[in-house]
Amino acid sequence: MSIDRYTISLSIILVSAFLSAPHVVRAEDASSQSYKILAPVVTSGGGYATSSSFSLFGVISEFAHNTSTSLTFGSNPGFAAYTTVSTPTVSATAGSGQVSLSWTAAQGFTGWTVGGYDVGQSTVSGGPYAYTAVGNVTSSTRSGLSNGSTYYFVIIPKDSFGNRIATSTQVSATPVAATSTTGPAVGGGGSISVSTTLPQVSASVILSGRAYPGSTVTILKDSVLQSRVPVQESADFTSTISNLQSGTYLFSVYAQDTNGNQSSTVTIPVTVVSGVTTSVNGIFLAPTIDVDKVQVKKGNPIRVFGQSSPESAITIAVNSDTELFFQTASDKYGVYSYSFLTAPLEIGDHSTHSNAAKSGEVSGSSRQIAFKVGSEDVLKGKMTDIKKSLRGDLNGDGRVNLIDFSIVAYWYKKKGFPAAYDLNNDKAITLIDFSIMASHWTG
Amino acid sequence: MTSRSWRHIGLANMRYILFLIVLFSPTVSFAAELRFDQSPTTVRAGDTFIVDVTLQTGGDTINAVEGSVHFSSELSLSDVRLRGSVVPLWVAPPEKKEAGVVNFAGVLPGGYSGKGNLFTLVFSANQKGTARISFGGNTAIYQNDGQGTAATLALPALAFPIDASIGTPNVVNIEKDVLPPEPFTPTVSAGEPFGLTGLVLVFTTQDKNSGISRYDISRSYHGTAKESDLSWSAAQSPYKFVAGDSAQYLYVRAVDRAGNTRVAVVRPQEFSPIAFVFDWWPFLLLITIGVVILGTQSRRFLR
């Protein structure tokens, strides 16, 4: 069946309508310290056409990375808007003839969203793996496994077209024969299952991953501090949480770098089973991030810095009307630092965040750090000044934890509260105040 | 002419058009969603069944959720269960406070991204008809962005038929809760932030199965008193210290809805001679015996 002119007309109308929607990605001005691209047009060569009612752009395509380079600059098709996702953190819990897998959702960057996942399974460490598409979910139980045999799994996020974008760290588990049974169901039209009262054997969870050299990794269980792990030069960490009852726990992991800056938090739901040790591998903590100025004079440089895993590729994103991306690398101590000129940025509020990639793994996003572009430079205060203003620390003990939660919960929807507890200054204690507190949680 | 052209597009060309739309789509983004997952899907009058209230964060990282679930009169709420919930801290645990409405508000410190169960509603089907379950207009989730920004949220409702009763009604499988609440550590704090004078005791914990029913408090000069030997009274956090509390061990008992208990103890906040004797009596007894023996020996020596 051929494509007639009506079809083409309709195609143009639909595509035009779609492209004129607010979320259309357009090429923006881009710059580095050595060159500038103004008013770029993303096109396959056909240019673009506009009228008062629609805009038709060419096909956005990247036929090669790093084309048109010289010693002083590189022009990348797509303007460095790389489609990357954070690699999932995976937990594996062995059962009888099965392994229950759960993983953190892969976080897309530059507006990209995960379309689904494949589970790779092998009896050999490192594969080859047999893949199963499990849909856009964050858990899967692999059954029909042999008790006593060790199985290895990886999780692969895919895009909307089914392309595999990343591969998680491998996790392993060895199914074991059941030592208990559930009580028989009563037959007939209805049934009630009565669980056998089993001797409860404590369970354990082993969490491991990458942080930063010299940092301290904090592990929370259901928002309550469990352990603090000093991290050595390798930046790898492992922590075992024992004496757990059966159930689903929310483990939160974050790091504090050598400057006292705190990373974003990785939160992993883990369902543990009595007597079974669950491994959670591949926790790749996002870099810490800071800036040297709270306000920068338009055109002057601002320095973005922080700490990550050693010798990682660091992508810095600047969120503004003109979205900018920069790439740099951390040194052997995990430290990264990058200065850029703020000439392309409008006067006003901006923010920046970063992520890290190493050995095929990609971290989630760092915290967002705000800065202003204005008429003069204003240097940022020392860390001690910042700690004093930790939002949500209502009792002033330097932490945001259950006591602060209890204080806000006490005043929730009540009147007469101290003004300092109204974190968004809307004259009421609502769940928004809890949300602000939760984003600064230290445990 | 126009209608003719639409009819003549054909399936293959429509696929081409859809392909173009997808191809030209620069981003594929999904809003966060709260939804109901019903099990089993076929319900008869008299049956008991469950509805999971689940969260899918889409591309967002969220840290707080609040709202209400409204259900029609064809249904009766039998139970609310928190088993497998991804919400560690409830500001207002899901609870029916008025007919046909369950309110809830919870916090996920540090943020959460992905799919997870918030809570499970256990319903009984009262009569034949069409049951409806929906979220109230006050339902919202908030991003983990430090500003409490509300995330764009899809809230699909659930409607399903309730068939006439046939034979023995189905009853949902409910596993008996035999586990105590999670271990916890009460913390002594100044009462000022709570608008109270003196000291207060702050406590909270979770129960992974049936949920926390209540907290009790007791006090003793003995640091290792048995739960059954103590006299308990209901308490809420923050608990305001009363006269004598500072000199005694305070015991906090969390009780889940199945009656399982977990007890936590807090040391006296000031020196108490009585508590000191209770704590150190074996050591004090040994010292006393030693002093007596030494006294006896020294008298013999002096003779």
Q: Is A383 on the interface with B (CB under 8 A)?
A: no
* Two tokens, residue B220: 């003793």
| Three-state SS at A426 | coil
Same domain, B194 and B158: no
Task: Sheet with B187-190: list strands edge to edge.
Answer: B187-190, B199-202, B239-240
User: Phi and psi dihedrals of A435, rounded to 5?
Assistant: -65, -45
How many C-beta atoms lie closer than 10 Å to residue A378's C-beta? 13
Q: Which residues of chain B lie closer than 8 angstroms to A18, CB-CB?
A: 21, 24-25
Same domain, B123 and B35: yes
* Cβ–Cβ gap B26/A60 under 8 Å: yes
Same domain, B62 and B154: yes
User: Given this model, what pLDDT does residue B161 score?
Assistant: 94
B23 within domain boundaries: no
Structurally, chain B folds into a number of domains equal to 2
User: Given this model, what pLDDT does residue A17 score?
Assistant: 46
Give how far Cα A8 sits from Cα of A46, A206, A286, B6, B12, Å. 17, 57, 46, 12, 13
pLDDT greater at residue A224 or residue A199: A224
Dist CA B63 CA B61 (whole Å): 7
Q: Using only C-alpha atoms, what is the Rg of chain B? A: 30
Four-point Cα dihedral B295, B301, B302, B303, nearest 10: 110
Identity of the residue in A14, A138, A410 whose CB atom sits nearest the CB atom of B21: A14
Give how far Cα B3 sits from Cα of A6, A7, B8, B9, B162, Å. 11, 12, 9, 10, 42
**Cβ contacts of residue B276 below 8 Å, gap of 6+?**
none
User: Given this model, what pLDDT does residue B129 score?
Assistant: 93
Quick check: B164 pLDDT over 60? yes
Q: Does domain A90-179+202-283 have CATH number 2.60.40.10?
A: yes
Q: What is the mean pLDDT of chain B?
A: 86
* Cβ–Cβ gap B202/A406 under 8 Å: yes
- Average pLDDT on B222-235 reads 92
Dist CA A341 CA A325 (whole Å): 12
B93 within domain boundaries: yes
Q: B24: which DSSP letter?
A: H
* Two tokens, residue B121: 């509603």
Sign (positive or negative) of CA dihedral A391, A397, A403, A409: negative
pLDDT greater at residue A2 or residue B175: B175
B277 within domain boundaries: no
Identity of the residue in A23, A113, A438 whose CB atom sits nearest the CB atom of B110: A438
Dist CA A152 CA A222 (whole Å): 28
Mean pLDDT: which of A90-104, A166-180, A291-305, B279-293 is highest?
Answer: A291-305
Domain boundaries, chain A: 1-79, 90-179+202-283, 290-382, 390-439
Give how far Cα A150 sits from Cα of A94, A102, A270, A419, Å. 10, 17, 20, 57
> DSSP E strands: which ranges in A257-358?
266-272, 277-284, 290-291, 293-297, 301-307, 313-319, 324-329, 335-341, 348-358
Q: Given pLDDT bands bounded at 50, 70 and 90, which one contains residue A105?
A: confident
Closest residue, chain A, to B192 (C-alpha)? A395
Interface test with A, best of B50, B202, B204 (most A CBs within 10 A): B202
User: Given this model, what pLDDT does residue A331 score?
Assistant: 95
- One-letter amino acid at A400 equals V
* Cβ–Cβ gap A406/B28 under 8 Å: no
User: Given this model, what pLDDT does residue A382 score?
Assistant: 57
Query: Which CATH architecture best describes the domain A290-382?
Result: Sandwich (2.60)
Q: Are A90 and A273 in contact (CB under 8 A)?
A: no
Q: Is A438 on the interface with B (CB under 8 A)?
A: yes
pLDDT greater at residue A199 or residue A42: A42
Quick check: B3 pLDDT over 60? no
B235 within domain boundaries: yes
Domain that holds residue B135: 30-163
Q: Is A22 on the interface with B (CB under 8 A)?
A: no
* Cβ–Cβ gap A402/B202 under 8 Å: yes
User: Given this model, what pLDDT does residue A34 score?
Assistant: 57
Same domain, B50 and B144: yes
Dist CA A40 CA A56 (whole Å): 15
Q: Is A418 on the interface with B (CB under 8 A)?
A: yes
Q: Using only C-alpha atoms, what is the Rg of chain A? A: 26
**Of the candidates A260, A268, A288, A266, which has an alpha carbon nearest to the alpha carbon of residue A366?**
A288
- Average pLDDT on A175-181 reads 65
**Of the candidates B155, B149, B151, which has an alpha carbon nearest to the alpha carbon of residue B137?**
B155
**Cβ contacts of residue A348 below 8 Å, gap of 6+?**
A320, A372, A373
Q: Given pLDDT bands bounded at 50, 70 and 90, which one contains residue A349?
A: very high
| Three-state SS at B6 | helix
Same domain, B131 and B74: yes
User: Given this model, what pLDDT does residue B50 score?
Assistant: 93
* Cβ–Cβ gap A23/B8 under 8 Å: no
Nearest chain A Cα distance for residue B93, angstroms: 12
Tally: H helices and E strands in chain A: 4, 28
Same domain, B58 and B138: yes
Interface predicted TM-score (ipTM) of this complex, two decimals:
0.77
User: Phi and psi dihedrals of B256, rounded to 5?
Assistant: -85, 175
User: Given this model, what pLDDT does residue A176 score?
Assistant: 84
Cβ-count burial of B52 within 10 angstroms (0-12 exposed, 13-18 middle, 19+ buried)? middle
Write the pLDDT tens digit of every residue in A9-61.
555 555 544 444 433 344 455 555 555 555 554 544 444 555 666 555 544 44
Q: Which residues of chain A lie closer than 8 angstroms to B151, CB-CB?
A: none
Dist CA A18 CA A6 (whole Å): 18
Mark which of B129, B163, B197 sits at the end of a domain: B163
Same domain, B35 and B143: yes
* Cβ–Cβ gap A111/B17 under 8 Å: no
Strands A301-307 and A290-291: antiparallel
Q: Which residues of chain A lie closer than 8 angstroms to B204, CB-CB?
A: 402, 405-406
User: Given this model, what pLDDT does residue B178 score?
Assistant: 87
Quick check: A68 pLDDT over 50? no
Same domain, B102 and B197: no
Q: Which of residues 395-414 of A touch B (CB under 8 A)?
A: 395, 402-403, 405-407, 409-410, 412
Same domain, B150 and B193: no
Cβ-count burial of A333 within 10 angstroms (0-12 exposed, 13-18 middle, 19+ buried)? middle
Dist CA B238 CA B266 (whole Å): 14
Nearest chain A Cα distance for residue B127, angstroms: 17
Strands A277-284 and B212-220: unpaired
Dist CA A171 CA A103 (whole Å): 11
Whichever domain contains B118, its CATH number is 2.60.40.680
- Average pLDDT on B168-194 reads 87
User: Given this model, what pLDDT does residue A24 score?
Assistant: 36
Alpha helices per DSSP H over A325-430: 383-388, 402-411
User: Given this model, what pLDDT does residue B25 score?
Assistant: 39
Q: Are A436 and B148 in contact (CB under 8 A)?
A: yes
Residue B210 zone, left/alpha/beta (φ > 0; ψ -120 to 50; rest): alpha
Q: Are A173 and A151 in contact (CB under 8 A)?
A: yes
Q: Are A77 and A61 in contact (CB under 8 A)?
A: yes
Q: A412: which DSSP letter?
A: T
Q: Given pLDDT bands bounded at 50, 70 and 90, which one contains residue A152?
A: very high
Write the pLDDT tens digit of every residue in A401-415.
989 999 999 999 888
For the domain spanning A390-439, the CATH number is 1.10.1330.10
- Quote the percentage of chain B above a pLDDT of 70: 90
Nearest 5°: the CA angle A157, A158, A161 is 170
**Residues present in chain B in total:** 303
Dist CA A366 CA A86 (whole Å): 11
The structure's pTM equals 0.73
User: Given this model, what pLDDT does residue B278 score?
Assistant: 73
Q: Is A245 on the interface with B (CB under 8 A)?
A: yes
How many C-beta atoms lie closer than 10 Å to residue B114's C-beta? 23
| Three-state SS at B88 | coil
Quick check: B218 pLDDT over 90? yes
Identity of the residue in B16, B22, B114 whose CB atom sits nearest the CB atom of A7: B16
* Cβ–Cβ gap B63/A439 under 8 Å: yes
Nearest chain B Cα distance for residue A71, angstroms: 31
| A290-382 and A390-439 agree in CATH topology | no
- Average pLDDT on A193-213 reads 70
* Cβ–Cβ gap A434/B209 under 8 Å: no
User: Given this model, what pLDDT does residue B30 score?
Assistant: 57
User: Given this model, what pLDDT does residue A5 score?
Assistant: 59
